[in-house]
Amino acid sequence: MGTLGHEVYMLVDYHCHTCFSQDSKASMAEQCQAALQRRLHQIAFTEHEDYNPDDPTSFYFRHEAYLREVERCRQAFGTSLVIRAGIEISEPHRHAARAGRVLAEYPWDFVLGSLHWVTPEVDSYRPQFFTTWCDGDWRLAFRRYFTEMIALARDGDFDVLAHLDYPARYGKRYFGDEYDIGEFEDLVREALSILIARGKGIEINTSPWRKGAAHPNPPQVVLSWYREMGGTVLTIGSDAHAPQEVGADMSRALALARAAGFTHITLFEQRKPTFVPIANDVPEPNV
Ligand SMILES: [Zn+2]
Ligand SMILES: [Zn+2]
C-alpha cells in the first residue's frame, strides 16, 4: 500500500494472462516485472480454462506447471509484489463437472467466470455472432448473450463475472454507435440480482479502452446498477496478454468505480474477498 496525502491507495490488476494461456507469449516473470514498473501492489494471473473443442485455448492450461511458476515468482519477487493464482473459466455453468474438479484440486485464489461461447457453436468474439447468428440482428444476439449470462450467473462456480458485455468489444463495425446496454437493462439487472444474491462480483475490464472504445466492459451505468442493487464485490483488470498491457488504465478504472458509487475494490486470497478503500485521488500508474 502507498499513501497519497491522507489517502491510502492500492493499484492492482486482477485479470492478466501469461504463456500458460494459449493466446499469450508473455512469461510470468515478464508480466510481474511489468507490474512492478507500473507500481502495482498485486497481480492475479487468470489463465484461460476452456473446454469447447472448437476454441484454440481449449485444454491448453497446465495447472501444476502454472502453480509451480507462481511459487517461483513469489520467491523471486518477495514482498514487492503480491501474486494471486487465478483462473478464467469459460462457461463454467455448461462445464460444471470438469470445472468443479479443477477448482477442487488446486489452491486457487481467484476465479473469473466468462461467457465467450454464447452457445457451444457460437463464439461471441467472431463476426458470426453479429452477422449470421440471429439473422444478423445484433440486438437479438446481445439479448441471447445476456440471457445465457443469467444462466452462468445462476449455475456457475466462480468469484467474479468477467467482462460483462464482452461482445461489445468486437462488434463496433456492425453496430457503430448504436449499441446501448440500456436496451438490455432488464436482462442485465436479472443477472446482477442473481450475482448479488450469491455474493458474486463483477469486474471493470479495461481492455476496450486500449482499442479506442469509450467504455470498458461493462460501461459505468452497469456498475451503478450493481452498486444501487446492493452489490459490493468489484475487481479491476486489464485483460493483459502482453507486458505493455499489464496495469493499463487501472487508475482510470478506480476513478470510474468511485463515480459509480463504489468506496472499495475487492481483492481475493484463497477465494475469500477482502475490501480496500479507493482513494479520493488515485495516482496515475507509471505507464
Ligand atoms: Zn475472457
Ligand atoms: Zn482474459
Q: Find the ligand nearest to 61 CA.
A: 2
Q: Is 85 helix (H, G, I), strand (E, B) or coil?
A: strand
DSSP 240: B
DSSP 230: T
- Give the pLDDT score at 78: 94
- Give the pLDDT score at 55: 85
- Are 188 and 164 within 8 A, CB to CB? yes
Cα-to-centroid distance, 148 and ligand 1 (Å): 15
- Give the pLDDT score at 10: 81
Q: Give the pTM.
A: 0.94
CA quadruple 218, 102, 199, 254: dihedral positive or negative?
negative
- Render the burial of 230-265: b for 16+ CB within 10 Å, e for the rest: ebbbbbbbbbbbebebbbbbbbbbbebbbebebeeb
Residue ranges per domain, the chain? 2-277
Cα-to-centroid distance, 127 and ligand 2 (Å): 19
d(CA 179, CA 177): 6
What are 11-67's pLDDT values in tens digits? Answer: 999 999 999 999 999 999 999 999 999 999 999 999 999 999 888 888 899 999 999
- Are 65 and 78 within 8 A, CB to CB? no
Cα-to-centroid distance, 4 and ligand 2 (Å): 31
- Give the pLDDT score at 9: 66
What is the pLDDT averaged over residues 220-234? 98
Q: Is pLDDT at 4 greater than 60 in this prediction?
A: no
Cα-to-centroid distance, 205 and ligand 1 (Å): 9
Q: Find the ligand nearest to 117 CA.
A: 1
Cα-to-centroid distance, 48 and ligand 2 (Å): 7
What are 134-172's pLDDT values in tens digits? Answer: 999 999 999 999 999 999 999 999 999 999 999 999 888
CATH topology of domain 2-277: TIM Barrel (3.20.20)
Cα-to-centroid distance, 248 and ligand 2 (Å): 14
Q: Which residues surround ligand 2, an ion (CB under 5 A)?
A: 88, 239
Q: Find the ligand nearest to 115 CA.
A: 1
